[in-house]
Amino acid sequence: MKGKLILIDKDINWTSFDVVSKIRNFIKKKFNLKKIKVGHTGTLDPLATGLLIICYGKMTKEIDSFIGLDKSYSGKMIIGSSTPSYDLETKPNVFYQTDHINEKLIYEKAEEFVGEIMQKPPIFSAVKKNGVRSYKLARKGEQVNLEKRKITIRDFKITEINFPELSFEVDCSKGTYIRSLINDFGKALKSGAHLTELRRTKIGEFSVDDSLKIMDFIKTFKS
């Protein structure tokens, strides 16, 4: 009941709530408990993989101390098209010219995003609008206008170019939406872009290299 902190490498198509629920149910069954507090320190989208910090028992009281930590990601994007969700949750619906885009422009525009910037969250996100999660409104086809927020991009590197696919790495502050970053990057190129792959590699000093897949954690716990 004192609790612990667990580093989980989340698989694609799992929600962060799925992971919390799986661990909660396992611990309850393992120790014959009626209830146990379990929570995470920052959501990962279902289509993203990587590091998720889980706290259970009395360790859940420490969650707030982890929420504000910087985060690092690696991922891929496609240049020349955008989607309503800014990722692969929805299909590309707008297509753009890319003939003017070269490596020099790509690297130059990436550098422009480093520092404090104003960012608008995706409408397909958990941000609330008038008390309702914006993704619920967006999926109904309703218009959603979210306010911009100040975030910090500490580093934004294009690590590989296989046009129209670009690979990247990002170090950023809490509250950063990588989907929005990629969408805005496409606009900066006077084109479009959408996120196709995302992996969270670090939260503060915690690394995905030290994490376990959820089923491996359960197997280890059982032993």
Q: In the structure, what pLDDT confidence band is assigned to residue 111 with cuts at 50, 70 and 90?
A: very high
Percent of the chain exceeding pLDDT 90 equals 79
Q: Report pLDDT digits (tens) over 112-161.
A: 999 999 998 887 766 776 677 776 766 767 677 778 899 999 999 999 99
Choosing from 9, 45, 87, 184, which is the catalytic residue? 45
210 is catalytic: no
pTM: 0.92
Q: In the structure, what pLDDT confidence band is assigned to residue 207 with cuts at 50, 70 and 90?
A: very high
Structural domains of the chain ordered from first start: 4-67+204-222 (3.30.2350.10), 71-203 (3.30.2350.10)
3-state secondary structure of 151: strand
pLDDT of residue 105 exceeding 90: yes
Q: How far apart are CA 140 and CA 132, in angstroms?
A: 12
